[in-house]
Amino acid sequence: MSYLPFTRPTLDEATIQGVTEVLHSGWLSSGPKAKEFEAALSAYFGGRSVRAFNSGTATLEVALQLCGIGPGDEVITTPMSWVATANVILHVGATPVFVDVDPLTGNIDLDRIEAAITPRTKAIIPVDLAGLPVDRDRLYAIAKKQGLRVIEDAAQSMGATWQGKKIGSFGDLISFSFHANKNMTTGEGGCLVLSDEAQIPLAEKLRLQGVERFPDGTMDVDVAGGKYNLTDIAARIGLGQLKQVDGFNRRRRELVKHYFTCFDRSLGCGLPQENFTDSNWHMFQILLPLDRISRGEFIEQMKQREIGVGVHYPSIHLFTLFRRMGFKEGDFPNAEKIGRETVTLPLFPAMELADVERVCTAVKEIIEASRK
């Protein structure tokens, strides 16, 4: 039986041929395709200003810089995310302030945010875990009341919606990732949706070494930027993917509905919320019954059946880097529980319904046979 990975990008022949054309063009770094990709993204997000970057991490860090956040400032975020969400706060010299998550959604618990706000708090970075959007109405009401910026870590929620509106088509600063395991990819890459056209010049300078070029061929640097530009090779992949992302997401919803139909709920696993309105179903995650089987044993048993699974995510505050800052076990019990128990099952558009059935059968056999 062939190996079933937990995710795999879908690249059509037109996109592959398009990349070949870029390679033949001789313009491989940022150029006409990057500009075309930004224009296409802008149209997708309702005409908002968009700039493409070489990673979703870069977009988050630049967003913090656009907000003027630095040493002495605090940024509220979730411990249940990829570690980049917290690392970028450290990179600009600010302090991450974690708030525990809702045990049902895995998203930051909006009821706990205001208690974490201090005079040093400057922004909130929420994360849409597995593509399930945080309640944007409540989030922005809190931010407005407290005078805070919002930098949406929408790395996982490309094509997701809130109240019928695409994530990215409204709000403050919105960061997307186009990593290879996301719902659409550029191989590596991301984009930042800006709330104000006046932010564009600084965003562009921060993206490429702080350089500002003038018509007479001279240039100046007045800010320390990075090397975050997206290549035309990656942009051409993105142009092909963007045309398909809504179709990809429809297929993901079909597969997830089949997961819910086939999954044996008597196994004692925690299942995600059955949201087919807003979520783009970036991942299908379950919580294992650790009183019956360890995660390591489960992963190994799935591997023996040629099925790949992932772990998304360990709770950030328990990494050594953050323990050195004083965080410890017990600080955020909901995130810690999810971090211990979570596994990500296979989900990608090229899967067949039979693949879902294969996974559900394997999970059932493994857990029923366990004698932990």
Residue 359 lies in a domain: yes
**Quick one: 175 and 294 in the same domain?**
no
From CA 326, how far away is CA 31, in angstroms rounded?
Answer: 45
Among the three residues 204, 239, 274, which one is the final residue of a domain in this structure?
239
Does 219 share its domain with 359?
no
In whole angstroms, what is the distance from residue 113 CA to residue 140 CA?
12
* Residue at 85 is within a domain: yes
pLDDT tens digits for range 265-289:
999 999 999 999 999 999 999 999 9
- Asked if residue 40 and residue 18 are part of one domain, the reply reads yes
Contact 247/233 with Cβ under 8 angstroms?
no
| pLDDT at residue number 348 | 98
Domain boundary among 206, 223, 239: 239
Q: Do both 59 and 169 map to the same domain? A: yes
Catalytic annotation on 182?
yes
Q: Which two tokens stand for residue 4?
A: 């079933």
Do 260 and 222 share a structural domain?
A: no
Amino acid 283: pLDDT: 98
Pair 136, 257 in one domain: no
Domain contains 150: yes
Q: Which tens digit of pLDDT belongs to each residue from 77-130? A: 999 999 999 999 999 999 999 999 999 999 999 999 999 999 999 999 999 999
Identify whether 6 is part of a domain: no
Residue 68 lies in a domain: yes
**CA 26/CA 37 separation, integer angstroms:** 18
Q: Judge if 271 and 138 occupy the same domain.
A: no
3-state SS class at 118: coil
Residue that is last in its domain, among 185, 218, 239: 239
Interatomic CA distance for residues 315 and 299, integer angstroms: 19
**Which residues, given as ranges, of the chain have pLDDT below 50?**
none
How many domains is the chain built from?
Answer: 2
Close Cβ partners of 298 (under 8 Å, ≥ 6 residues apart) = 288, 309, 343, 366, 367
Q: Does residue 7 lie in a domain region?
A: no
288 lies in a domain?
Answer: yes
Tell me, what's the pLDDT at 372? 55
Residues 210 and 353 in one domain: no
The CATH number assigned to the domain holding 53 equals 3.40.640.10
In a domain, 8, yes or no: no
Q: Which of 182, 205, 257, 303 is catalytic?
A: 182
* Pair 217, 149 in one domain: yes
Say if residue 173 is in the same domain as residue 230.
yes
- The residue segments making up the domain with residue 78 are 13-239
Looking at the structure, do residues 299 and 192 belong to the same domain, yes or no? no
CATH number for the domain that contains residue 283: 3.90.1150.10
- The structure's pTM equals 0.97
Please check whether residues 190 and 255 belong to one and the same domain: no
